[in-house]
Amino acid sequence: MKKYFIILYLIFVYINSSSSQNIRQFIRNGNKSYEVENYEAAEYYYSKAIQLGETSPLAWKLAEAARMNRDYNIAQKWYQYVAETDIIKFPLATFWLATVQKSIGSYQKAQLNYRKYFMSNIKAKDYFTEKSRHEITSCENALFLTFNPVETPFKRMDTTFNSKYSEFQIADFGDSLKYISSLRPLNITDSITFFSKLLLFKKSDATNYSKELLDTNINIPNKNISSYTFVTNNKIIFSACDRRKGKFYCQLYQSEKAHESWNLPTLLPNNINSNSGTTTNP
């Protein structure tokens, strides 16, 4: 019997030790990802860590990464956790909780938390306190607007154009020709690598459309093409983006069509494209 309990004890110690090592590794990976602004990866690693053990410092890290990744529902959950368990150590939890609640349209909750933060820090006179004071009124105005919404009819396009992935922008040249930028896997053998590319839909008969990927003069390899504008029917300016350290770095290009084919794109000059920033919508 004694030997049996010793074995159980050793198994328990091993499991706890292994779990602790996993948590530390997930947190280290999350920290590294956050430092290079890869917030999506940071959120993933912190989420894995918190499944093995909830603590306020870890919840704060996860909430911050989720907010920066614009995953506001997850951020709300963990800011709420921190605000309820360790507000002394993390006094900004209430402020950021209100901020993400405003982002998802929970204006009444956001207003209450902005007011709570403001009243707790009314003597500080710093950015967060003044911002909270302003947002109390802003949330109230937004809430009133929801009571009298403008009824604008919307019709969702069918699955000819909408995939199970993400469609961004459409240029509609009448009933027979449409350009749509879409984020989806490029082939069926690689279902986890996504790029946004520009697709052409041509009406093939009374009810059907053919779909084709524009050539590499527009869909530049290893770049995301999402926003664009047609200057004329045969001239396009489009944004081509690289993903760097969790962020997109975009530049504007121009191409013209000759004999039904698009020419090699030209990078627009530096007075349009910023060397120190990103240039998105043309």
Question: Structural domains in the chain?
Answer: 21-146 (1.25.40.10), 166-267 (no CATH)
* Rounded Cα distance, 214 and 66, in Å: 34
Angle between helices 2-35 and 56-68 (to 10 degrees): 30
Residue 144's alpha-carbon distances to 108, 110, 140, 141, in angstroms, are: 10, 14, 6, 5
- Residue located via tokens 């959950």: 77
Residue 235's alpha-carbon distances to 175, 229, 232, in angstroms, are: 20, 9, 5
Q: What's CA 29's distance to the chain center, in Å?
A: 20
pLDDT digits (tens, 9 = 90+) for 245-266: 667 789 999 999 988 889 999 9
pLDDT of residue 2: 52
* Rounded Cα distance, 92 and 117, in Å: 8
Which position has the higher pLDDT, 67 or 145? 67
Tell me: pLDDT of 278 over 90: no
Q: What is the mean pLDDT of the chain?
A: 86
pLDDT digits (tens, 9 = 90+) for 38-52: 888 899 999 999 999
In the chain the first and final C-alpha atoms are separated, in Å, by 76
Q: How confident is the model at residue 18 (pLDDT cuts 50, 70, 90)?
A: very low
Which residues are CB-neighbours of 251 under 8 A, at least 6 positions away? Answer: 239, 240, 241, 267, 268, 273, 278, 279
Could you tell me if 99 and 139 are in contact, meaning their C-beta atoms sit under 8 angstroms apart? no
Out of 7-21, 101-115, 149-163, least confident range: 7-21
Sign of CA dihedral 226, 229, 232, 236: negative
pTM: 0.60
Which position has the higher pLDDT, 58 or 124? 58
Could you tell me if 125 and 93 are in contact, meaning their C-beta atoms sit under 8 angstroms apart? no
| H-helix or E-strand spanning residue 168 | strand 166-173
Could you tell me if 205 and 226 are in contact, meaning their C-beta atoms sit under 8 angstroms apart? no
